[in-house]
Structure 1
Amino acid sequence: MLLAQSLPAFAALGGAPGAAQASNPQASSTQADSVRAKVAARVTNYNGYSVSETLEPSGTTVKEYVSADNIVFAVSWQGPSMPNLQQLLGSYSEQYVAAASVPHAGRRAVAIQSDQLVLRSGGHMRSFAGSAYVPALLPQGVTPDDIR
């Protein structure tokens, strides 16, 4: 395990680390303050990819899975509040918004299973968890079970 001493990448799914923040140069000062308040907990390297684990000010842990090609192929989250999924999912966020707007019976869970995006998100107040990945971007040898 390697402890990170700098700000986390804030990557968007399918993009290079740092792309989510860079894609919106007109971010509000509140959003910029929120970005600065985040602390990188650790970066763990595996065979062919790395995982950057970030603790948000809300207490939610966000993991970004980055391939050797420096592309974010998956994200996951767990904690007392939902992270900014529009930021995490980047160009894939529209698929999430469409799926989340469909009425669901019972618990408020969202599931997407397509060639472009696989996403699972659910929970209740103070306990949310989910993950998303782009099947075509999974590095060789990485399975969906590796994304937690």
Structure 2
Amino acid sequence: MKTDADWLARAVELSRLCPFSETAFSVGAVIVGADGELLSEGYSRETDEKVHAEESALAKLPADDPRLRTATVYSSLEPCGERASRPRTCAQLIIAAGVPRVVLAWREPDLFVTGCQGTALLAAAGVEVVELPELAEAAREVNAHLLG
């Protein structure tokens, strides 16, 4: 059975598929059921220039899919807690889907949003948030062009 690190490494791999952008992070996301089954995956700008990774992965499943209530979302970057391009943030989408657990590699740096609140919003809603900082460097590498 795959570990959290294995699934998060897959999310980082997906981030490498993102169309290039100078104004947005490249992020990958994987949704895994409680039984270890891959439910969905997505990446930033997969379907349009504004779509985020978690949003893309969630959109591939029915909103009322009961597996989401026991699933884990793996994201190479902290799910957004503030967003101008859509009415709902990724943190709000995860909470609305009933996902109880999120594993991330890298906290969003203060580049496009100051003081990203994605993990705080998730935690306040009762979502378990796990950070695997050992994969943060791989997630940063994909976005090196943004970091200077």
Relative to total residues, which structure has the larger helix share, 1 or 2? 2
TM range (shorter): under 0.3
- TM-score of the superposition, structure 1-length normalised? 0.28
- TM-score of the superposition, structure 2-length normalised? 0.28
Which is higher, the Rg of structure 1 or of structure 2? 1
